[in-house]
Amino acid sequence: MPKRRLAVHGIAVAALTLASLILPAAGAHAAPPADSCTHNWSVSSGEGYANGKYCNYNTKVVGTVHDTKADGRCPYVRGSLSNGNHVDSDWAGGKGKSRAITLYAPSGTHITGISMRYISC
Report the SS3 class of residue 104.
Answer: strand
**Cβ-based neighbour number of residue 92 at 10 Å:** 27
Q: Check whether 47 has a pLDDT greater than 80.
A: yes
Q: What is the DSSP letter of 83?
A: T
Q: How many other C-beta atoms lie within 10 A of the C-beta of residue 99?
A: 19
In percent, the amount of the chain with pLDDT more than 90 equals 69
pLDDT at 15 over 70: no
pLDDT category at 118 given cuts 50, 70, 90 is: very high
pTM: 0.71
Write out pLDDT tens, residues 71-113.
999 999 999 999 999 999 999 989 999 999 999 999 999 999 9
- Which residues does 55 contact at the CB level (< 8 Å), separation at least 6? 35, 36, 37, 38, 61, 62
